[in-house]
Amino acid sequence: MADLGFEPAKKEARVDFELAALDGTPRTLDDYAGSYVLLNFWATWCAPCRIEMPALERLHLELADHGLRVVGVDVGEETADVERFVKETGITFEIVIDADLSTGRVYAARSLPMTYILDPEGTIVARAIGAREWDSEPMRNMFAALVEEGTAG
């Protein structure tokens, strides 16, 4: 993972959250149990975030059926603004709203975009600061290997 710009985590403990999906449904870390999760903190006003969204969408479309959950955590924006962005861009992966920034603070997401990789138990295994080419061949291969490992174990 380090060769792709990830900082390995020291198997940090689960950091649970309760956030609202765009439809208002409450979501917690337990909703993603059993899957690897790419948890991406972002905002509509963040240019690098906007640039990486199509690649996140392509990664989601390729690996969602294989056990990778891509979850975008919008920080501090109005739901209507986020809904408008999602509609304009055609994003289909799950978006949740961290309206009061509390989840971002707990995860120490101090810059945007910031991405965490969580294992099927919800433990943080790596993080990346800044935009990435999420649909590059090396990145797709890494996530495919992770989800294969997760389903084999």
Amino acid identity for residue 126 in this structure: A
pLDDT score of 52: 96
Residue 113 has pLDDT above 80, yes or no: yes
Higher pLDDT, 8 or 130: 130
Task: For residue range 47-101, list pLDDT tens digits in order.
Answer: 999 999 999 999 999 999 999 999 999 999 999 999 999 999 999 999 999 999 9
As a whole number of angstroms, the distance between CA 128 and CA 56 comes to 14
> Is the pTM of the predicted complex or chain greater than 0.75?
yes
Q: Which two tokens stand for residue 147?
A: 């989800």
Q: pLDDT (tens digit, 9 = 90+) per residue, 37-46?
A: 999 999 999 9
**pLDDT beyond 60 at 11:** no
Which DSSP string corresponds to 98-139?
ETTSHHHHHTT--SSSEEEEE-TTS-EEEEEES---TTSHHH
Which residues does 36 contact at the CB level (< 8 Å), separation at least 6?
67, 68, 69, 117, 118, 119, 120, 143, 146, 147, 150
For position 7, what pLDDT does the model report? 73
> Is 64 exposed, middle or buried (CB count within 10 Å of its CB: 0-12, 13-18, 19+)?
middle
Angle at 108 between CA 9 and CA 67, to 5 degrees: 55
Give the CATH fold of the 2-152 domain.
Glutaredoxin (3.40.30)
